[in-house]
Amino acid sequence: MLEALNQPNWLLHRCLISLGLVVGCFINVVIYRLPLMMESRWRRDCCELLEVEKEARNDTPLSLSTPNSHCPHCKAAIKPWQNIPVLSYLFLAGKWGNCGASISIRYPLIEFATALMTVALASQYEASPALLGAMIFTWSLIALTMIDIDHQLLPDDITLPLMWLGIAFSLGGATVSLQDSVLGAMLGYLSLWSVYWLFKLATGKEGMGYGDFKLLAAMGAWLGWQSIPMLILLSSLVGAVCGIALMVATRRGKDIPIPFGPYLAMAGWITLMWGDQLLAYYMGAAGLNS
């Protein structure tokens, strides 16, 4: 099957586009529901810790699969033909079919971006376990980016499985070596952990969250310990440029927290796609090539 996909390249691209659209639709569900599930779990844990009764609620238990997709405004169930990635948004002219309320443009944009980034992986990877790993890595980064933008959270439900999957893929030789993967996870976590504590000791403030440590550890597990300096440099550069532009455009104060996860995710995907070329360019510009 993999050999067949490699023969006609257009077939692989079509498969990846279709898969990316479907996964993008699911990522929208994860972005919306996972933070709500986490809040519900935290509330339940707090009630148990404080030994108080949980307030009576009529809400249906929430998971990634239940309840079925519904309009956030009128709660009407979404029919299957209204849930086709990108196309349903166009057919419905950007409005929910039952109540006519506007559908956020973000839903089709995330679906389209997921498909585009998924098919872009075919330019770097043949149909192989390495391509499968790159897709899982990419999809996870998209979900984490949007959740961090919305809630300033990087859920353990994504970052920790992503790290262990990176190590698991290295066992089969699909990514980096097992040693590089384990060292990458260790160095990724400890590098930002050290920055966090140095900043806190110097200023008394928390400069980043623990989710950032775990995300960089996951990236190190996928990309190897050699990628950590590049990931930190790229994310810092992107974060500085975007942060300054955001403060100028919105006139936000410098004390307002800005999530760092999206910049780490951008750096991770750039490194996944073009890390070797960037490293070779840097080495050449620095005169370090032999």
pLDDT at 8: 55
Q: Are 231 and 267 in contact (CB under 8 A)?
A: yes
pLDDT tens-place string over residues 102-112? 888 999 999 99
Q: Which residues contact 281 (CB under 8 A, 6 or more apart)?
A: none
Helix (H) or strand (E) holding 26: helix 9-50
Most confident of 38-42, 92-96, 214-218: 214-218
Sign of CA dihedral 225, 230, 231, 232: positive
Terminal-residue alpha carbon distance, the chain: 41
Closest CA to 135 of 31, 6, 15: 15
Q: In terms of DSSP H, where are the helices of 172-260?
A: 178-203, 210-223, 228-250
pLDDT at 55: 56
CA angle 130, 132, 133 (to 5 degrees): 65
pLDDT at 187: 96
Rounded alpha-carbon distances, angstroms, from residue 181 to 32, 35, 163: 31, 29, 9
> What is the pLDDT of the chain when averaged over all its residues?
86
Mean pLDDT, to the nearest integer, of 49-78? 73
**What residues does each domain of the chain span?**
16-112, 124-290
